[in-house]
Every structure is written in structure tokens, then in C-alpha cells.
């Protein structure tokens, strides 16, 4: 619980003129089952780990050119923690992405251009924590979105950290080390399949041992190499790898071809009798080379 005499630490984070925070919030608010952040009155609040400390932050739009960031609990921050938080937010909202080429494609594409223009300013809302990103992708394999949220909430409640502030409970997704304390039988009790539990424990083990990290993947400098590295982990297939590339590693050309939401969005948009085949989808996306992830994200938005 905060105290009136506690210092409040805040700063501004510059954004480009084609960034729309409200559009990002609208996407993030699509499910009331989300357990890792709270949205209210144009602001998102989230409990984050900076180094070894847990801080509660609030982010809102201050103007067309900056976000206001306030540390509600855990401030002030050291210079290292400030940099870590800024980097997290840049990844979370893909702030540094130049979307001019993407929007230029939309001007010349009658098929999907209207969708892109209708959500102008929307950024891919990322998942900066690699473990959370991989787990979320694994949890979403072959289940509907609602049940995936249920599984995430069960994992977070059972093994993650939490903090009560002004009567609201904020939760954090478990770290690899926290989840390694669980057994596969316990994960099965949360209704994770054996394959999902095995994949999550494999990733947790690799990350806890220092054999896998977001920084080490990004240091490869080649998204295709990153994808191959992820595919070498049992339980991670092409869809999961591309989802992680898209939401965590910042690849605008990642293409989760078999994504159910994407297929449904295209089917509805084009009034197709059946969902498009993989070859049909690739043909429809042929004019968006290098921006498949962004077009996918905008098409997902049509379902929200």
C-alpha cells in the first residue's frame, strides 16, 4: 500500500506522430480475463521486475508526442532501472518502429489497405519478457483464446508474484525459476496438457541455466537464425516460433500462417465460405513482404 509521503517517480517517453496510445489500449482491453495489467481511465498499470526489484508503473498518453510514465510503487529508480524500464516500454509498444513503409503499402493495396488505415497508429503490443512470450504462445496452442487466458491466469496465480496497491491486486507472470519449482503433475492439475507442460518446463530450464534469453537471441542479428533456434526446442513449432518473433523479438516480417484468429479475420473480411488455405493466405499477403506481422496484428484487431 502506498503512503502519502512516498516519492513518486515519473518521466516522459517520446513517441512519433504516427503512434496512437489509445489504439493500443483498445487492443489490450479486448478481454476482461487479462491478469497481468489493469486498464482504466486511459491508463495501463502493470507490476514489473526491474533487476531484482518489483515496481508498479502507470502509463498514459500525455500528448501526441510523449507517454507519461509514473512509478506508483518502488521509486525512485536508479539510472540502470530507468534504462531497463524505458527499454521494456519501447518493446511493449514497439515505439521505435518506423511505420511509414507499412502505411505506404496500405495506400496501394485495396484488399487490406482499408483495414490498415482504419487502425492507423496501432502498434504491435509486444510481450517483452521472453519466458512469458513463449509460455503464452504454448498455452494458446490448439485452444480458444478464452481458455488460453484461463491457463495463463492459473499459472500466474499459482507461481507468480503479486502486490496489493490501493485495494487492487497486481500480478506478475512467474519467472523460469519460480515455475521450475512446479512439477509436471501440478501443471497437469491446472489443465495443461503433457506436451504443453513439457515445453514450458524445457524453456524454463534453459532460461534458468542461462542457455536461452531474449538478449542472446537478438544478438544473433538474423530473424531466420532466431526462428531455427526456437524450433530446436521440443514443443515449439513454426506457429509458436513466429508468434514469439512477432510479439517479443520485434520481427515485422514474422508470419504465423496457421493462426486461427488470422484465418478467421481473412475469411470474414473477404466473405469467404471457408478459411483460406496456407497457399491462399501467402498469396494474399504477397504484397506485404517484410510486414506480415503487422498486417496480421491489424487483421486480429478486426476481431476485437
> Taking the domains of the chain in order of start, what are their residue ranges?
9-96, 97-124+252-304, 127-250
What class, spelled out in words, does domain 127-250 have in CATH?
mainly alpha
Asked whether the beta carbons of 249 and 279 are under 8 A apart, the reply is: no
Please work out, in degrees rounded to the nearest 5, the angle formed at the alpha carbon of residue 121 by the alpha carbons of 36 and 9: 50
pLDDT at 170 over 50: yes
What average pLDDT score do residues 18-34 get? 95
The Cα 297–Cα 300 span in angstroms is 5
Task: Please give the average per-residue pLDDT across 249-265, as a whole number.
Answer: 96
Whether residue 6 is predicted with pLDDT greater than 60 in this model: the reply is no
- At 109 the pLDDT is 85
**Sign of the torsion formed by the C-alpha atoms of 98, 258, 266 and 299:** negative
Residue 1's pLDDT is what?
39
Looking at residue 7, what is its pLDDT?
A: 53
Helix (H, G, I), strand (E, B) or coil at 196: helix
Region 10-14 average pLDDT: 95
Q: What's the topology of domain 97-124+252-304?
A: Endonuclease Iii, domain 2 (1.10.1670)
* Grid cell of 264 as nine digits: 478467421
Q: What is the predicted pLDDT for the residue at 4? A: 44
**Cell numbers that stand for 85 in this block:** 524500464
Give the separation between CA 269 and CA 217, rounded to whole angstroms.
Answer: 35
Scanning the structure block, which residue is given the C-alpha cell 494458446? 140
pLDDT tens per residue, range 199-233: 999 999 999 999 999 999 999 999 999 999 999 99
Q: What stretches of the chain show up as alpha helix (H) in DSSP?
A: 21-28, 79-92, 100-107, 113-118, 130-139, 145-159, 176-180, 184-189, 194-208, 214-218, 223-231, 238-247, 260-269, 278-284, 292-301
Q: What is the pLDDT of residues 190-206, one digit of tens each?
A: 999 999 999 999 999 99
The arithmetic mean of pLDDT across residues 54-72, rounded, is 94
CA pair distance 119, 113, nearest whole angstrom: 10
Domain 9-96 class? alpha beta
Residue 162's SS3 state is strand
Q: Could you report the per-residue pLDDT of 97-145, keeping only the tens digit for each?
A: 999 999 999 998 888 999 999 999 999 999 999 999 999 999 999 899 9
Record the pTM.
Answer: 0.94
Q: Which residues are catalytic?
A: 259
CA distance 132 to 128: 8
Residues linked to residue 67 through DSSP beta bridges, in sequence order: 13, 61
Q: Are 210 and 216 in contact (CB under 8 A)?
A: no
The rounded percent of the chain whose pLDDT value lies above 90 is 92
- The yes-or-no verdict on residue 5 having pLDDT over 50 is no
> Rounded mean pLDDT of 239-260?
97
Euclidean distance between CA atoms 229 and 70, whole angstroms: 37
Amino acid at each position: 500500500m502506498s503512503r502519502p509521503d512516498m516519492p513518486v517517480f515519473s518521466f516522459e517517453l517520446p513517441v512519433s506522430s504516427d503512434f496512437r496510445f489509445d489504439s493500443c489500449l483498445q487492443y489490450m482491453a479486448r478481454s476482461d480475463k487479462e491478469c497481468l495489467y489493469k486498464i482504466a481511465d486511459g491508463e495501463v498499470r502493470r507490476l514489473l521486475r526491474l533487476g531484482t526489484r518489483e515496481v508498479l508503473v502507470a502509463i498514459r498518453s500525455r500528448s501526441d508526442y510523449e507517454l507519461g510514465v509514473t512509478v506508483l510503487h518502488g521509486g525512485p529508480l536508479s539510472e540502470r532501472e530507468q534504462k531497463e524500464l524505458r527499454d521494456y516500454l519501447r518493446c511493449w509498444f514497439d515505439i521505435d518502429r518506423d511505420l511509414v513503409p507499412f502505411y505506404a503499402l496500405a495506400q496501394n493495396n485495396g484488399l487490406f489497405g482499408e483495414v490498415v488505415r482504419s487502425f492507423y497508429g496501432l502498434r504491435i503490443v509486444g510481450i517483452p519478457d521472453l519466458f512469458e512470450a513463449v509460455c503464452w504462445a504454448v498455452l494458446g496452442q490448439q485452444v480458444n483464446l478464452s481458455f488460453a487466458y484461463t491457463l495463463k491466469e492459473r499459472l500466474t496465480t499459482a507461481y507468480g508474484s503479486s502486490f496489493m496497491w490501493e485495494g487492487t491486486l497486481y500480478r506478475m507472470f512467474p519467472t523460469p525459476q519460480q515455475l521450475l519449482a512446479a512439477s509436471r503433475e501440478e501443471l497437469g492439475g491446472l489443465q495443461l496438457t503433457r506436451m504443453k507442460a513439457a515445453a514450458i518446463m524445457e524453456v524454463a530450464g534453459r532460461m534458468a541455466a542461462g542457455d536461452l534469453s531474449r538478449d542472446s537471441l537478438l544478438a544473433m542479428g538474423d530473424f531466420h537464425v532466431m526462428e531455427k533456434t526456437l524450433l530446436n526446442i521440443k514443443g515449439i513449432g513454426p506457429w509458436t516460433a513466429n508468434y514469439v518473433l512477432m510479439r517479443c523479438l520485434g520481427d515485422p516480417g514474422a508470419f504465423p500462417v496457421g493462426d486461427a484468429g488470422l484465418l478467421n479475420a481473412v475469411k470474414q473480411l473477404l466473405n469467404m465460405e471457408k478459411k483460406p488455405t496456407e497457399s491462399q493466405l501467402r498469396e494474399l499477403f504477397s504484397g506485404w513482404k517484410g510486414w506480415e506481422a503487422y498486417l496480421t496484428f491489424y487483421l486480429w484487431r478486426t476481431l476485437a
